[in-house]
Structure 1
Amino acid sequence: MTLKLRSVGASDRGLIRSGNQDALHAGAWLVAVADGMGGMAAGDLASRIAIDAVGPLDLETPEHALVEALQSGIELATARIRQAVTEDPERQGMGTTLTALLFARTGSCLALAHVGDSRAYLFREGVLKQVTRDDTFVQMLVDQGVISPEEASSHPRRAVVTQALQGEEVSPAYATMVPRAGDRWLLCSDGLSNVVRPDTLTEVLGEQADRGECARRLIDLALRAGGPDNVTVVIADVTEED
């Protein structure tokens, strides 16, 4: 028996925004979410550039090469965003978050790359854990003990991102983990995590066995909460197969 990754993704522009600046990839080896920023056309372009840069990593990769592969994908995204700004100076300031998970061909390891405030959660044995750390001003205040996590969720500057892919030097966070059969991963843009409580996420991830239905249910909850932003969800299950 070998561990496999089975994923599905869904996205909605929400109820307020005129367009959708999010992008996603849901594959057999790679899942990723990107949330663009910096004006309508530019944000949309930045997130698509990021997903197009890491998308080719969706293939069988040996364990030892996972982080290096993600690093190369992010470097490519950075270069392409820089080129896009050079071609049109009005795109200056555009950028995107990126949260990506790459599964090893053996199923024995996975690697995670993260920059910005999209998130990766691991739902394992009924417990939900946020694996990524937000690159935001309010997270910095939480880390410093200035405000509590509860205060951060309603802070007026919670949308201020301290790091994103913008064509410049960036310091993504990388991590490797050992997957287990039954693990369920949730990757999402802040259009979900800012409006749906962690306990509700936990409940839906545990109750909705069907990946597609689970993704649709989470998006529906974000819309019911006002849908103030684009909302993107990828559900990826670790399954044991012959």
Structure 2
Amino acid sequence: MTLKLRSVGTSDRGLIRSGNQDALHAGTWLVAVADGMGGMAAGDLASAIAIEAVAPLDRETPEDALVAALQSGIQEATVRIRRAVSEDPERQGMGTTLTALLFARTGSCLALAHVGDSRAYLYREGVLKQITRDDTFVQMLVDQGVITADQASSHPRRAVVTQALQGDEVSPTYATMVPWAGDRWLLCSDGLSNVVRPDTLAEVLAEYPDQTACARRLIDLALRAGGPDNVTVVVADIVEE
């Protein structure tokens, strides 16, 4: 038996924003979520550039080349965003988060790349764990013991990111993990994680085995919570074949 990645992604502009600055990729080997910032047109462009830069990684990759592949994808995104800003000065300040998961061709390993505050969660054997750490001002305050995690969720500056893909050099976080059959990954923009509690996320991931129904339910919960931001969800399951 070989482990395979099966994914579904969906996105909604929410109830407040006039457009959607999120972008996603839900493939056979790669899943990714990007949340653009820096004004309407520029945010759209930045997230689209990031996803277009990493999308070619959705192919069979040896396990010892996963992190290098993600690094090259992020470097390509950085170069393209820098070029886009140089072509139009009004795009200055545009950027995007990026959280991406790349699955090895052998099914024995996966690698994660992360910059910004879009998140990756792993639901394994009934337990939900946030795998990524937000690159945000409030997370820094939490790490320093200034505020609690509960206080961070309602802090007025919770949307201030300390790192994003903006055409400059960044220091993404990379990690490798061993997948288990039955693992369920959730990648999402902060339009979901800022308004739906982790325990509720866990309940939905457990209750909806169908990926499309699961993703739709998560979007619906974000909208019921006011839908203040664009909402993007990718549900990826590790299955035996």
5+ unaligned residues in a row in structure 2: which ranges? Answer: none
- In structure 2, the partner of 1:151 is 151
- Alpha-carbon distance in 2 for matches of 1:189, 1:97: 9
1:47 and 2:47 aligned: yes
- Alpha-carbon distance in 2 for matches of 1:27, 1:156: 35
Structure 1 stretches of at least 4 aligned residues deviating more than 3 Å after TM superposition = none
- Alpha-carbon distance in 2 for matches of 1:47, 1:126: 32
- Alpha-carbon distance in 2 for matches of 1:85, 1:156: 29
Aligned residue identity for 2:41: A
- In structure 2, the partner of 1:111 is 111
5+ unaligned residues in a row in structure 1: which ranges? Answer: none
Q: Name the SS for the 1:11 alignment partner.
A: strand
- Alpha-carbon distance in 2 for matches of 1:172, 1:211: 28
Q: Name the SS for the 1:134 alignment partner.
A: coil
- Alpha-carbon distance in 1 for matches of 2:195, 2:107: 33
- In structure 2, the partner of 1:102 is 102
- In structure 1, the partner of 2:188 is 188
- In structure 1, the partner of 2:212 is 212
Q: Name the SS for the 1:155 alignment partner.
A: coil
Root mean square deviation, CA, Å: 0.2
Following superposition, the deviation at residue 191 of structure 1 comes to 0.1
Q: Name the SS for the 1:70 alignment partner.
A: helix
Q: Name the SS for the 1:82 alignment partner.
A: helix
- Alpha-carbon distance in 1 for matches of 2:8, 2:28: 10
Aligned residue identity for 2:178: V
Following superposition, the deviation at residue 123 of structure 1 comes to 0.2
- Alpha-carbon distance in 1 for matches of 2:198, 2:235: 15
- In structure 1, the partner of 2:91 is 91
| Percent identity for Structure 1 against Structure 2 | 87
- In structure 2, the partner of 1:163 is 163
Aligned residue identity for 1:84: A
User: CA-to-partner distance for each residue in 1:63-119, whole Å, 9 max, x for gaps?
Assistant: 000000000000000000000000000000000000000000000000000000000
Q: Tell me how many residue pairs correspond in the alignment.
A: 241
- Alpha-carbon distance in 2 for matches of 1:156, 1:34: 22
Following superposition, the deviation at residue 207 of structure 1 comes to 0.4
- Alpha-carbon distance in 1 for matches of 2:72, 2:198: 32
- Please list, as runs of the form range in 1=range in 2, the aligned pairs for 1:168-179 lying within 5 A after superposition: 168-179=168-179
TM-score, normalised to structure 2's length? 1.00
- Alpha-carbon distance in 1 for matches of 2:126, 2:206: 7
